[in-house]
Amino acid sequence: MATTKSNEPLIYNRAISYNQKVWNYMRRNRTFKITDVMIITGMGYESLKNIIWNLRAVGYIKEVERIRPYQNSTFTLVKNTGVKAPRINKRIVRDRNTKEIFHVQNMKVKKSKLLTLPISRQLLTLIDSLTETKITKIEVCKKTGLPESTIKNWWTKLINAGVIEPIIPIVRRNRRKLFYVHIEKIPELREKLIKGKRYEKAFD
């Protein structure tokens, strides 16, 4: 719980904007988690994520550790320019303390380590194991040697990409749910991954 210098609970005035509440919290707690800010400010996840994303994009906060679910990820405030919260509107961040204006769409945002090529190699290993039209997650684990948690992480993305498809009605093999594999889509995805493209773009 955030406190004042006298160790009394920090109570936010309801008249204060959510943007200012978030900024006040970050100035008092330089390293924080999204869930902490949500609890203290009463702000919804999607709205708060928008503030976090924009402030990170223009260098006000830095992602220290990404955890799933994303709400538990850790950030730190690295650019504290004053009492007034930066104003965010349509990807434009206005610093009311320094009078600076940042256009987020023109900023080069550094990607998280989770999106870099080493992780894509895990995906490459996974898709190379998809040599059958029907397969279970545990069979992929045995083929690749990757932990089941990693397989689950990529599995959803492969489903969204249309490479893997749930079989309806459900069919099982050794009590495990079978999935249909669109093998014809794998070569193109593999080629993009080999070229070093990040996985989001590889699924475009």
What domains can you pick out in the chain, each with its CATH number?
18-110 (1.10.10.10), 114-202 (1.10.10.10)
Q: Which helix (H) or strand (E) holds 53?
A: helix 45-57
CA distance 37 to 191: 42
Cα radius of gyration rounded to whole Å, the chain: 22
- Residue 15 in this model has a pLDDT that exceeds 70: no
DSSP 60: S
pLDDT digits (tens, 9 = 90+) for 117-175: 345 678 888 989 999 999 999 999 999 998 888 898 889 888 887 889 988 888 999 99
| Number of other CB atoms surrounding residue 22 within 10 Å | 23
